[in-house]
Amino acid sequence: MIEQLKTFVQVAESGSFSKAAEKLFISSTAVMKQMNLLEKQAGIPLFIRTNHGVRLTKAGISFIKDAKFMLQYFQESLIRMHQSAQVNRHIVRAGTSMLNPCKVLIDLWNGISDLYPQFGINIVHFEDDAHTLPTTYRMIGQSLDIIAGPFLTDNLKDYYRVLELGSYRVCFAVSRQHRLASRKTLSVKDLYGEKLAVVNGGGSAVIHDIRDFLIMNHPQIRIKDVPRLYDLDVFNRCEESNTVMLTLESWADIHPSLVTIPSNLDFAVPYGLIYPLHPSKEVEQFLEIIKEIQGNALPKVE
pLDDT digits (tens, 9 = 90+) for 143-167: 899 999 999 887 777 889 999 999 9
Q: How far is CA 191 from the centre of its chain?
A: 28
In whole angstroms, what is the distance from residue 234 CA to residue 200 CA?
11
Contact 196, 272 (CB under 8 A): no
Question: Bigger pLDDT: 254 or 294?
Answer: 254
In whole angstroms, what is the distance from residue 136 CA to residue 48 CA?
31
**Mean pLDDT across 76-103:** 81
Q: How far is CA 100 from CA 75, 105, 150, 214, 246, in A?
A: 19, 11, 7, 27, 17
Question: Kind of pairing, strands 160-175 and 146-150?
Answer: unpaired
pLDDT value of residue 297: 43
Q: Which residues contact 176 (CB under 8 A, 6 or more apart)?
A: 257, 258, 259
In whole angstroms, what is the distance from residue 60 CA to residue 109 CA?
41
The pLDDT of residue 1 is above 90? no
Q: Which of 130, 104, 108 is nearest to 230 (CA)?
A: 130
In whole angstroms, what is the distance from residue 266 CA to residue 278 CA?
35
Q: How far is CA 149 from CA 84, 103, 109, 167, in A?
A: 28, 9, 16, 10
- The per-residue DSSP string of 1-61 comes to -HHHHHHHHHHHHHTSHHHHHHHHTS-HHHHHHHHHHHHHHHTS--EEEETTEEEE-HHHH
Phi–psi pair at 27, nearest 5 degrees: -80, 155
Q: What is the pLDDT of residues 90-138, one digit of tens each?
A: 889 999 999 999 999 999 898 888 888 889 999 999 888 888 888 888 8
pLDDT value of residue 192: 97
- Angle between helical axes of 281-294 and 103-110 (0-180°, round to 10): 80
Of the chain, the percentage scoring pLDDT greater than 90 comes to: 62
Q: Which of 219, 214, 200 is nearest to 269 (CA)?
A: 200
Letter for the amino acid at 225?
Answer: D
The pLDDT of residue 302 is above 70? no
pLDDT value of residue 82: 67
According to DSSP, the residues that pair with 223 across neighbouring strands are 196
For 87, left (φ over 0), alpha (ψ -120 to 50), or beta? alpha
Of the chain, the percentage scoring pLDDT greater than 70 comes to: 95
Q: How far is CA 65 from CA 8, 38, 84, 237, 283, in A?
A: 11, 16, 29, 20, 30
The pLDDT of residue 299 is above 80? no
The pLDDT of residue 291 is above 80? yes
Spell out a b/e string for 118-142, using b for 16 or more CB atoms within 10 Å of the CB, else e. Answer: ebbbbebebbbbbebbeebbebbbe
Instruction: Report the helix count and the strand count for the chain, using DSSP H and E.
Output: 10, 11
The pLDDT of residue 20 is above 50? yes
According to DSSP, the residues that pair with 55 across neighbouring strands are 48
pLDDT value of residue 86: 55
pLDDT value of residue 300: 42
Q: Mean pLDDT over all residues of the chain? A: 89
**Mean pLDDT across 262-270:** 94
pLDDT value of residue 190: 96
Q: Which of 85, 150, 160, 166 is nearest to 120 (CA)?
A: 85
